Amino acid sequence: MFNDTGCESCRLAWAGGLGRDVLEELGINYERQARLHRCKKCGAFWEEPNGNYPCGLSQSEAREFYAIA
């Protein structure tokens, strides 16, 4: 799923920690123990679970879990 989400810029930001400025934090879901990020370049939604690898979310999942517009 990681390689199928977003663009090269946001995947590199997660994989290498460099260029994290391309990721915008949108919110926290305490029940899911995770943060929601969106790539400023391609608009992909990423969930960063506490203590786990980031994974892609659909726009409908982002709305459901993080109440974004």
**Is the pLDDT confidence value at 3 over 90?**
no
The reported pLDDT for the residue numbered 8 is 92
The reported pLDDT for the residue numbered 56 is 94
The reported pLDDT for the residue numbered 18 is 73
**pLDDT tens profile 17-65:** 777 789 999 999 999 999 999 999 999 999 999 988 999 999 999 999 9
**Is the pLDDT confidence value at 4 over 90?**
no
Give a three-class secondary structure readout of the chain.
CHHHCCCHHHHHHHHHCCCHHHEEEEEEECCCCEEEEEECCCCCEEEEECCCCCEEECHHHHHHHHCCC
